[in-house]
Amino acid sequence: MFNKLFGKFSKDIAVDLGTSNTLVYVKDKGIIINEPSVVAINTRTDQILSVGEDAKRMLGKTPGHILVVRPLRNGIISDFEVTEKMMRYFIEKIHRESFSLVPRPRIIIAVPLDITEVERKAVEDVAMSAGAREVFLVEQPIASAIGARLPIQEPNGNMIVEIGGGKTEISVISLGGIVTWKSLNVAGEKFDSDIINYVREKYNMFLGEESAEQIKKSIGTVMSLNKPIKNKVRGRNLLNGLPKEILIKSDEIKDAIQSSVDTIISAIKDVVEETPPELVSDLYQRGMVLSGGGAMLREFDRLIYEETKIPVIIADDSLTTVVRGIGIVLEDFDNLKELLLPLTVEESYKS
């Protein structure tokens, strides 16, 4: 009864709980939050010091008693307590200017395809503990396809490749369901790790995570460019421990991430091979959609086309495709609720 009462004064939300970033869509308002999935904790007092961008800026710069945590790994909750605190922080931030003293929003969250029942239950429990009155889950490729405005409820093949921070999910969707799919723990953060390893091996320099991410964004490419790009990067010299600066080229980034890119390309081919012939015909006519942060890597769409001969379309604002899709479900809940996953313990979440 109280949940229903508080719910009237709460703002229902859609959440893309990503490995790298958490995005929150508020009903009737759109995307309100787009913050790194990072939390800074004072281990002496067990208090949250900061969440999101402020916490990310602390990475690699904290004293011993401050712990900077990424509570999600490969799209899965790895630290239940910290994830709950992060979710609660975002819920309270959204309701800060409203009259809701105890917000109890309905929450829809996107989850990976290969999530286990135990992991799904953890997502539901985190949201309920953070203050939700109802929790619903939707598969990330379904949300991404809706966000890309693909007609997934029609009897046609729709292929979407979502390259996020911790996962790459490749799927063919028809009649509101996933026909064939693959999920890989190879995505944006693996590219960063590849760059760090490359710089360490070639230049004897240790590069921080944030520096690797910035280099990937500024000059990253999966194919050689007609006009190669260069950029300076700073790190620590592994031989003497002193600061070091190098000039790195786009072709070097291509070489660094080549193995990971090949893994994704191979998985895309596997999904196409496993797709029924009638739907494959649709794919060659309609093409596939590339979304997520990985879609922004230079020439990725061209490389996929050259390897598969299927046209590739980069989704508009590819970083927000998933949360926009969940937002559409939230706004039209009664008509689209059939696309949601069944709850692990349905009775526990009745309001």
For CA atoms 124, 52, 230, 289, the dihedral sign is: positive
Residue 138's pLDDT is 97
Q: What's the CATH number for 157-186+260-319?
A: 3.30.420.40
| Maximum C-alpha span of the chain | 65
Assigned token pair, 293: 């942060």
- Determine the average pLDDT of the residues in 46-51: 90
Quick one: pLDDT band at residue 103, thresholds 50, 70, 90? confident
Residues 6+ apart with CB under 8 A from 257: 191, 194, 195, 216, 220, 222
Residue 175's pLDDT is 96
Residue 95's pLDDT is 83
Domain ranges in the chain? 2-142+321-349, 157-186+260-319, 188-256
- Determine the average pLDDT of the residues in 156-183: 96
How far apart are the C-alpha atoms of 79 and 68, rounded to whole Å?
12
How far apart are the C-alpha atoms of 139 and 228, rounded to whole Å?
38
Q: Would you say the CATH fold of 157-186+260-319 matches that of 2-142+321-349?
A: yes
- Determine the average pLDDT of the residues in 157-169: 96
The predicted-structure confidence for 124-143, as pLDDT tens digits, reads as follows: 999 999 999 999 999 999 99
Checking if the pLDDT of 255 tops 60, the result is yes
Q: 2-142+321-349, superfamily in CATH?
A: ATPase, nucleotide binding domain (3.30.420.40)
Quick one: pLDDT band at residue 345, thresholds 50, 70, 90? low
Checking if the pLDDT of 66 tops 80, the result is yes
* The architecture CATH gives domain 188-256: Alpha-Beta Complex (3.90)
